[in-house]
């Protein structure tokens, strides 16, 4: 099978699974947005997904996205690009300029810088606060006990366009309690978006109210090997 047909078949399978999970949860399948995680995959794979009707894509690194997506966004109206990896403050200006959704707002200093860039660029991507629901020291995200105050600050102090929350549960724990906690936190703050659930657990996330699920390997297959420090460019195959 060609890359285009392989990606199209994988997308069809994933969409069917999303629809079934929504039916089981008593939800409309249109209430769940599929974010295709294209990190380390080249432009041909992304174009294959675009040809199959996919419009939301996720990238982990600003620099890699800059190498791939400006031309794709110019060529494909409606393409929405999500930043789903940790954001350094020195990359915030580039992130605000390129991404339509930044899902990894997780600390006051970053909130300040993003607020300044939104005012300077007159461009406001949707923002999601990433919560470290497992309080894992090696993982990004605002600690659980600090989440409520930080969300209040983002909305009231910095007047940021925070639309929802994001989490990545610990790999060795049942994700359901983490998804349930994040959904309850979003309700407390009147936030409508919940980005939670990846290839291994997105059906559980949908059962707990996910509005966005982030899938990579289920769509594009195993990530190609990338040498340390190497950024996969549009020419990479």
Q: In this structure, are residues 37 and 84 in contact, taking their beta carbons and an 8 Å threshold?
A: yes
Domain extent listing, the chain: 3-220
Q: What is the pLDDT of residues 104-159, one digit of tens each?
A: 999 999 999 999 999 999 999 999 999 999 999 999 999 999 999 999 999 999 99
pLDDT over threshold 70, residue 65: yes
Closest CA to 180 of 192, 171, 169: 169
Specify the DSSP element, H or E, that contains 187. helix 176-188
The pLDDT value given to residue 50: 98
Question: Do 113 and 92 form a contact (C-beta atoms < 8 A)?
Answer: yes
Higher pLDDT, 79 or 225: 79
Q: Given the structure tokens 């657990």, which residue do they identify?
A: 201
Q: What pTM did the predictor assign?
A: 0.93
Rounded-to-integer distance, Cα 15 and Cα 118, Å: 34
Architecture of domain 3-220: Alpha-Beta Barrel (3.20)
- The token pair that represents 57 in the structure block: 């894509």
């Amino acid at each position: 099978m060609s890359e285009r047909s392989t990606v199209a078949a994988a997308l069809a399978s994933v969409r069917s699974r999303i629809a079934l999970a929504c039916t089981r949860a008593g939800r409309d399948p249109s209430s769940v947005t599929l974010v295709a995680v294209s990190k380390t995959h080249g432009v041909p794979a992304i174009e294959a997904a675009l040809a199959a009707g996919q419009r939301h894509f996720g990238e982990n690194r600003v620099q890699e996205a800059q190498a791939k997506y400006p031309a794709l966004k110019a060529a494909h109206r409606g393409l929405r690009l999500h930043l789903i990896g940790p954001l350094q403050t020195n990359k915030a200006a580039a992130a605000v300029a390129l991404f339509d959704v930044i899902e990894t707002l997780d600390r006051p200093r970053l909130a300040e810088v993003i607020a300044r860039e939104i005012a300077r660029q007159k461009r406001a991507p949707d923002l999601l606060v990433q919560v470290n629901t497992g309080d894992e020291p090696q993982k990004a995200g605002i600690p659980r006990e600090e989440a409520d105050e930080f969300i209040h600050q983002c909305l009231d102090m910095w007047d940021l366009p925070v639309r929802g929350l994001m989490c990545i549960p610990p790999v060795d724990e049942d994700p359901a309690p983490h998804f349930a906690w994040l959904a309850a936190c979003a309700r407390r703050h009147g936030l409508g978006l919940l980005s939670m659930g990846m290839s291994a657990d997105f059906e559980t996330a949908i059962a707990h109210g996910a509005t966005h699920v982030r899938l990579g390997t289920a769509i594009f297959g195993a990530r190609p090997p990338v040498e340390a420090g190497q950024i996969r460019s549009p020419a990479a195959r």
